[in-house]
Amino acid sequence: MVTEVIKTNELHKIDPVFGQMSFDNHEQIVFCNDKDTGLKAIIGIHNTVLGPALGGTRMWNYTSEWEALNDVLRLSRGMTYKSAITGLNLGGGKAVLIGDAKTQKTPELMLKFGEFVHSLGGKYITAEDVGMATSDMDLVRTVTPYVTGISESKGGAGNPSPVTAYGVFMGMKAAAKYKFGSDILEDKVIYVQGIGNVGEALVENLSNEGAKVYIADINQDRLEEVRDKYSVNIYGGDNIYAEEMDIYAPCALGATVNDFTINQLSTKIIAGAANNQLAEEQKHGKMLRERGIVYAPDFLINAGGIINVYAELENYDRKEIMRKTENIYNTTLEILKKADADNITTHQAAFNVAQARIDARKNEK
Ligand SMILES: NC(=O)c1ccc[n+]([C@@H]2O[C@H](COP(=O)([O-])OP(=O)(O)OC[C@H]3O[C@@H](n4cnc5c(N)ncnc54)[C@H](O)[C@@H]3O)[C@@H](O)[C@H]2O)c1
């Protein structure tokens, strides 16, 4: 990678970290580098008022360091509010590894990353995210206890994705109840964008309920595999946003609700697993509200995964995990109603509840 050295007399124009829009009073940002393994990672610790900052590690082939930094800042902030609204005693953190998970993720690199996590003494606890598998967390566990999402055979709660998908399914049902008066998804036209770990498990829940499911992904093999397994339809068009549908479920990467897509959207509900679906929370939240599209806040309905990994820290069982995840239905319905009553966006309504919990704890201290 060729990097230009910024001249010191130009530095003031850049404000590379604290000046970023996505920098929202993060407590700590850790840049990790290891020449031998090629590790380049950023750990973002947004807020630890409620507890240690827990959030997954994402490995992605970012086009620039700016993109990686922006991603980790947005993701770690999201974790703060996700844990807060879910009632967990956790703060918000996240890590990104810069590189292609398929070709650059080696055991040595993961171990080195684990050492960096360990050096933070438990202030940040990691788990899996895009580009990571349970086996990677098992490896990290050999160098630090500050990791969750490890396999069941090693005492962990296993892959969180099916639990995340179940929570999204619950949130989607609540949004349907609010919008259509019934939470039955049979015959509803639902587009699932991204059929990875969470997307596939969501498709399973939806097809069991008899929804008319369309799937989209950049991976053709995966599309065929999931279509054959659940008898769903592969989306063959080139602009998913403009398709007439009841529910759009973004389950790939974030920011798909943005200036380019929002006016094309022809859906009644947005409910999916991807983090940070709104490119700009205030602006795009408002635009969705004006257009009458019900948005089930991502950080609220995709909390099943964090509930699952939290169980590893608190030693609660599968039944309790599923009970807490099922409760996403009730919380979502409350938030949608509250947004209406207060005439604010659903994102803002969820955010306010989460922030109030953080503020209350801060005042207790
Ligand atoms: N795994 C969890 O428990 C969990 C928890 C909370 C949130 N999330 C979020 O949910 C999303 C999916 O997570 P995952 O674990 O299933 O990841 P994954 O890597 O298993 O799956 C992502 C899928 O999206 C596809 N994809 C990527 N870019 C795409 C595009 N432009 N259009 C269509 N498809 C595209 C990929 O090919 C892949 O199949 C991520 O945003 C993640 O942060 C996951």
Is 324 among the residues known to form the active site? no
Position 37 pLDDT exceeds 60: yes
pLDDT in tens, 231-272: 999 999 999 999 999 999 999 988 999 999 999 999 999 999
Q: Are residues 313 and 180 part of one domain?
A: yes
Q: Are residues 193 and 142 part of one domain?
A: no
Q: Which of 5-14, 330-339, 353-362 is predicted with the least confidence, judged by mean pLDDT? A: 5-14
Ligand 1 center to residue 153 CA distance, Å?
25
pLDDT (mean) for 212-219: 97
Is 87 known as a binding-site position?
Answer: no
Is 236 known as a binding-site position?
Answer: no
State residue 3's pLDDT score. 47
Helix-then-strand count for the chain, H and E? 13, 12
Ligand 1 probe mutation, 63, 129, 238, 258, most atoms within 8 A of CB:
129
Position 1 pLDDT exceeds 50: no
Ligand 1 center to residue 182 CA distance, Å?
28
Alpha-carbon distance of 246 to 268, in angstroms, equals 5
Atom 28 of ligand 1, residue of closest alpha carbon: 252
Considering the domain boundaries, does residue 299 fall inside one?
yes
Percent of the chain at pLDDT exceeding 90: 86
Considering the domain boundaries, does residue 17 fall inside one?
no
Considering the domain boundaries, does residue 110 fall inside one?
yes
- Which pLDDT band, with edges at 50, 70 and 90, does 10 fall under? low
Tokens 């530095």 belong to which residue?
11
Q: What does residue 114 show for φ and ψ, rounded to 5 degrees?
A: -60, -40
Alpha-carbon distance of 133 to 273, in angstroms, equals 17
Q: Which of 154, 173, 191 is the last residue of a domain?
A: 154
Is the CB of residue 309 less than 8 Å from the CB of residue 160?
yes
Tokens 């053709």 belong to which residue?
220
The CATH number covering residue 216 comes to: 3.40.50.720
DSSP 36: T
Beta-bridge partner residues of 281: none
- Which pLDDT band, with edges at 50, 70 and 90, does 8 fall under? low
Q: Which atom of ligand 1 is nearest to the CA of 131?
A: 19
Q: Which atom of ligand 1 is nearest to the CA of 198?
A: 16
Q: Are residues 64 and 121 part of one domain?
A: yes
Q: Are residues 195 and 214 part of one domain?
A: yes
- Which pLDDT band, with edges at 50, 70 and 90, does 7 fall under? low
Is 247 known as a binding-site position?
Answer: no
Q: Are residues 173 and 34 part of one domain?
A: no
pTM > 0.95: yes or no: no
Choose the catalytic residue: 7, 13, 82, 94: 94
Considering the domain boundaries, does residue 1 fall inside one?
no
Q: Are residues 324 and 208 part of one domain?
A: yes
Q: Which of 154, 184, 201 is the last residue of a domain?
A: 154
Ligand 1 center to residue 98 CA distance, Å?
17
Average pLDDT over all residues of the chain: 94
Q: Which atom of ligand 1 is nearest to the CA of 163?
A: 3
Q: Which of 154, 176, 194 is the last residue of a domain?
A: 154
Position 339 pLDDT exceeds 90: yes
Is the CB of residue 271 less than 8 Å from the CB of residue 172?
yes
Alpha-carbon distance of 102 to 162, in angstroms, equals 22
State residue 315's pLDDT score. 83
Range of the domain at 132: 24-77+91-154
Q: Are residues 247 and 106 part of one domain?
A: no
Considering the domain boundaries, does residue 125 fall inside one?
yes
State residue 13's pLDDT score. 55
Q: Tell me how many domains the chain contains.
A: 2
State residue 52's pLDDT score. 98
Q: Which residue has the higher pLDDT, 250 or 365?
A: 250
